[in-house]
Structure 1
Amino acid sequence: MQKKYFFLFFFLLLTAQAFSQSIIQNISSRHNLSLNGKWNYIIDPYENGFYDYRRQAFDQSETGKGGFYDDVKQTNKGSLIEYDFDHDATLDVPGDWNSQAPELKFYEGSVWYRRHFNFEPKQNKRYIIYFAAANYETHVYLNGKKLGMHKGGFTPFQFEVTGKLKNGENSIVVKVDNTRKQDEIPTINTDWWNYGGLTADVYLSELPETYIDNYKVQLAKGNLKEIEGFVQLSGNQKSQSVAINIPEAKLTYQLKTDTSGYATFKFPVKNLKYWSPESPKLYQVTLQTETDKLDDKIGFRTIETRGKDVLLNGKSVFLRGIAIHNENPLIPGRPRSEGDLRMLLNWAKELNCNYVRLAHYPHNEKMLRLADEMGLMVWAEVPVYWTISWENPATYQNAQKQLTDLIDRDKNRAAVIIWSVGNETPISQPRNKFMGDLIDKAHELDHTRLISAALELHRKDSTIYVDDVLGEKLDLVSFNEYAGWYWSTPDEISKYNWDIKYNKPVVISELGGSALAGFHADKSTRWSEEYQDNLFKNQFKLLGKIDGLRGMTPWILVDFRSPRRAHSVYQNFWNRKGLISNTGQKKLAFYTLKNYYDKISETFNQKNR
């Protein structure tokens, strides 16, 4: 027994060390060589390029040779080489593989990517290879040598390659495996397409020997007159002078990092224009040290709760929202460009939304920056979804790492007002401990934003109960509610009443029902636009009974792909709960929700005058 716990402790120690590596902030501001473009690929369902015939990993052998990552070529007619990247097809990076090759549409397993690039590394510079996201388990090799491994499909990761780059042609090989597993985050059971591959940007970044690795510049909690934050340097010259400049606001602040490269700061401000959906003001912020300089665009606002109110910059606000998946419905697969992302957010603005829920996992960093620019508040989430392996320590460490990386990446985005630690997790003691620890971690990492989760509800007779032990820890009462679709009928749901235990703002994280765009019938016929529209109209009557209702994100902006949705007539592997179809057609319920939000907007505008 002691031996068992020793190995568990040793595993967790290694896991904690691996998870302690920070990710460089604001990668787009750096001097980058883009490695996007065409990558050769090999489909490897048996993982022949990773294991030998006795299932031993090549990269763990004495020589570290033998895998596809060697990227060797036929040099004589007697050589035995059972792969050939040069003559294999290509995939676009960034991009998922499912939408780029018919044979990969439903594929789950390993795919090897290979790219050659020419480079001349400089003296007195550091280099990292940065992946904005890859789904799910990723092994990375440079010139035949392993750089490392990463788990998690949606957050960035990096490897330092200083001293490992060749002067001339370099080979980077990446094995990506999107196999769903019970003990991972998310778990084996989800309701979205499991897009595999290098789904976001890949960069080779050139940095000073000592550079600004991490920073936060935001308003203090509940204080419109004080900016606070920190700076963290990476490199040998850790103790340096740092200047924080906000030229438009005529603000400059000087500080000095300690021997670990770290410094915190607080300084007063006045005459700032605060960020809001009506006026999404962003300031140019410059951080300059003796060896490095970077720029960011940052908005300043406060978000807090008081009783049953949500306060943005001290004023009561109703979160007029919609949920969004990170998927382009018009072109199969993950969004490939800023244009794809802007299209989704523009549709949300057409609904008169001031808020979006980016479900059920971290979205592309560009989406958060666009929300900053366009004036949309954001609920950002990690994929702790449905039934997780609650009692597995490694599963918890994985979830905490993904939450940490999400908060770390997007902490300077004014748009983000809520960190969510999960979705529809069934109540149990192990789950309560797991989720409670995540909530505590989120509060520890960022005390200036609200923490929530999409909870489940329960019913007895004509009463809807919301009573989850997590509600004591969360800043908002948020739950998914599908009255009229998964239970009851649209015309009957207004008879229900609410019993919500907590004296906190209520933000409905999901509601809705499906409709096939263009299918018209009477309001009692499922899958018709009329049924969905009638459901929304009666939902507004039901939700109007909630005294503390302060927002909602109906499910969902656009129809999205899901292997769970197999009905050949109405679904065809699409979840049809979207207010917009996969061809961009707005359904009747789109206009019903917009009219409701128009009225809510006017009510709260009058309240704040």
Structure 2
Amino acid sequence: MTYAKVFLNGQLVMEHKGGYTPFKADVSRYLKYGADNQLVVYVDSSERMEIPPFGYVVDYLTYGGIYREVWLEFTEQVIVENCHVRTRNVLNPEKLLDLDLYLTNFAQQASTVDLEFSVLNEEQTIHQFQETVALTGENNQRLNIQQAISGVELWDTENPNLYTLEVKIKDYGHVIDQASFRFGFRQVEFKTDGFFLNGNRLKIRGLNRHQSFPYVGYAMPKRAQQKDAEILKQELGLNTVRLSHYPQSDHFLDRCDELGLLVFNEIPGWQHIGEQGEWWDTTLQHVEEMICKDWNRPSIFIWGVRINESEDCDALYQETNRLAKSLDDTRPTGG
């Protein structure tokens, strides 16, 4: 779980350091079309000095093996890689969708495509708009698209209203890729007199949560992950949970979005800061992977970009904060 390598047909495709954040591997260059292929994922669960949270002592158990979902994707040449859905002006009648859309162009050919956007409230489409964009021919391209929207409800701890943004890429009217992103309209802010959600002061009441369970460790299914969120919100009457001390299951976070349970999400670590170099680089990698995975979740109100209970390290934490703010300017950072 700590370290992984992906092989296809005996060829190394990529490696990844850390077992709490996701990664993708493009295996197409080693694929044998029309023949049998062998895909191997090598997982090293030993403690490695250059990979957080390791390097000294950790006060929580880190288990081995693959315990979260793994899947294969077959795609067209141009796909939606990700979309950062930022909601602006949420306290005004007319709100703003500020989208950073990330496209991958495997063919690396310049062309023009049509983008179709739909905002859904459950299954009902409440808003649609289109854009025609030029592909530059670069492998990765980011587009900023802004759209005014009204008639939507805010997300908060008592009324966790959720919406879905559907994005379709069309080439001469034919849909070549589509993706959906769930989000909520809300605003978070810390002031000298407290925490404010949608302009209303809210007292934070919460607990830490580890994702380990007796006898099975991290390997618990969707329903058990969801149940933990329900216990925190419905049985204990809390409004906040801190993910201690690493990013956790998407199933747990999905339920937090649905229940209105605020989340303090943080990078892997406990007290120890490794030597500058590979350990620091991997920490910055974890910051980016954590934020890019979860930046649309209305439940997450703060990014933990410091190693839990660590000493001050200005050089490292200036970089983690700078990176977090460059990726997401809608949330504060802490730790």
Which TM bucket (shorter chain)? Answer: 0.7 to 0.9
1:354–1:375 Cα contact (<8 Å) kept: yes
Question: Would you say 1:401 and 2:268 are equivalent positions?
Answer: no
- Asked if the contact 1:275–1:282 (Cα under 8 Å) also holds between the matched residues in 2, the reply is yes
Aligned residues of 1:275 and 1:300 also touching (Cα < 8 A): yes
The answer to whether residue 316 in structure 2 is matched with residue 434 in structure 1 is yes
Q: Which deviates more from structure 2 when the two are superposed, residues 179-188 or residues 368-377?
A: 179-188
Q: 1:337 aligns with which of 221, 245, 261?
A: 221
SS at the partner of 2:82?
strand
Aligned sequence identity (%): 27
Which residue of 142, 147, 157 maps to 1:267? 147
Report Cα offsets for 1:164-200 as digits up to 9, x if no partner.
Answer: 3343543222221122233321123201112011121
What are the superposed Cα offsets for residues 380-436 of structure 1, whole Å, 9 maximum, x if unpaired? 0101421212x4122211101110000000011111111001211123xxx221122
User: Partner of 1:444 in structure 2?
Assistant: 326
TM-aligned CA distance change 1:174 to 1:346, over 3 Å: same
Deviation at 1:356, TM superposition (A): 0.6
Corresponding residue to 2:115 among 242, 251, 254: 242
Whether the 8 Å CA contact 1:221–1:447 is kept in 2: the answer is: no
- The answer as to 2:177 corresponding to 1:292 is yes
Amino acid aligned to 1:332: V
Aligned to 1:174: 41
Q: Is structure 2 residue 197 aligned with structure 1 residue 312?
A: yes
Larger relative CO (CA 8 A, sep 6+): 1 or 2?
Answer: 2
Q: Does residue 303 in structure 1 map to residue 183 in structure 2?
A: no
**Is 1:277–2:157 an aligned residue pair?**
yes
Give secondary structure in 2 for the equivalent of 1:160. Answer: coil
1:205 corresponds to 2:87: no
Residue matched to 1:149? 15
Q: Distance in 2 between matches of 1:434 and 1:315?
A: 34
Which structure 1 residue ranges, 5 or more long, are not aligned?
1-134, 454-609
Match of 1:253 among 106, 124, 129: 129
Task: Describe the superposition over 1:434-476 as per-residue Cα deviations: whole angstroms up to 9, x where unpaired.
Answer: 12221121112111012111xxxxxxxxxxxxxxxxxxxxxxx
**C-alpha deviation, 1:281, in angstroms:** 1.2
Maintained 8 Å contact 1:138/1:151: yes
Q: Quickly say closer, same or farther: Cα 1:196–1:445, change in 2 above 3 A.
A: same
What's the offset of the Cα at 1:242?
A: 1.5
> Cα deviation per residue 1:259-301 (whole Å; 9 max; x = unaligned)?
2533102222222111112111111321111121122332221
Alpha-carbon deviation of 1:203?
Answer: 0.6
Matches within 5 A, 1:18-167: 135-166=1-32, 167=34
Q: For residues 315 and 271 of structure 1, what CA distance do their matches in structure 2 show? A: 20
User: Counterpart of 2:118 in structure 1: which amino acid?
Assistant: N
Q: Which 10-residue stretch deviates more, 165-174 or 196-205?
A: 165-174
CA separation in 2, counterparts of 1:262 and 1:253? 18
Do the aligned residues in 2 keep the contact of 1:221 with 1:448 (CA within 8 Å)? Answer: no
User: Which deviations, in whole Å up to 9, do the C-alpha atoms of 1:502-535 show, x marking residues without a partner?
Assistant: xxxxxxxxxxxxxxxxxxxxxxxxxxxxxxxxxx
TM-score of the pair, normalised by structure 2: 0.87
Query: SS of 2:25's equivalent?
Result: strand
2:304 is matched with 420
Which residue of the other structure, out of 173, 184, 191, is the alignment partner of 2:59?
191
User: What's the counterpart of residue 173 of structure 2?
Assistant: none
Matched, 1:370 2:255: yes
- Indicate conservation of the 8 Å contact 1:255/1:263, yes or no: no
State the SS of the aligned residue for 1:241.
strand
The alpha-carbon deviation at position 323 of structure 1 amounts to: 0.8
CA deviations over 1:30-88 (Å, ceiling 9, x no partner): xxxxxxxxxxxxxxxxxxxxxxxxxxxxxxxxxxxxxxxxxxxxxxxxxxxxxxxxxxx
Q: How many residues align?
A: 314
Q: Select the structure of larger CA radius of gyration.
A: 1
The 10-residue stretch of structure 1 (245-254 or 440-449) with the greater mean CA deviation from structure 2:
245-254
For 1:411 and 1:240, the matched residues in 2 are separated by: 26
> Which protein is richer in helix relative to its size?
1
- SS of match in other structure, 2:84: strand
Where structure 2 has 5 or more consecutive residues not aligned to the other structure, the ranges are: 171-175
In structure 1, C-alpha distance between the alignment counterparts of 2:77 and 2:30, rounded to whole Å: 15
Residues 420 and 452 in structure 1, CA contact (< 8 A), matched pair in contact too: yes
Residues 1:328 and 2:195 are matched in the alignment: no
Matches of 1:432 and 1:297, distance apart in 2: 35
Q: Check the 8 A contact 1:182/1:388 in 2, yes or no.
A: no
Q: Which has the larger strand fraction?
A: 2
Q: Which residue of 2 aligns with 1:214?
A: 82
Separation in 2, partners of 1:285, 1:293: 11
Structure 2 distance, partners of 1:434, 1:163, is 36
Partner Cα separation in structure 1 for residue 201 and residue 178 of structure 2: 38
**SS across alignment from 1:435:** helix
Letter in 1 for 2:98: E
Corresponding letter in the other structure for 1:207: T
Maintained 8 Å contact 1:210/1:237: no
Q: Could you tell me which amino acid in structure 2 is paired with residue 452 of structure 1?
A: G
CA contact (8 A) 2:53 2:272 kept: no
Query: Take 1:447 and 1:196, find their aligned partners in 2: how far apart are those partners?
Result: 35
Alpha-carbon distance between aligned partners in 1 of 2:109 and 2:119, rounded to the nearest angstrom: 25
**Quick one: which amino acid aligns to residue 306 of structure 1?**
K
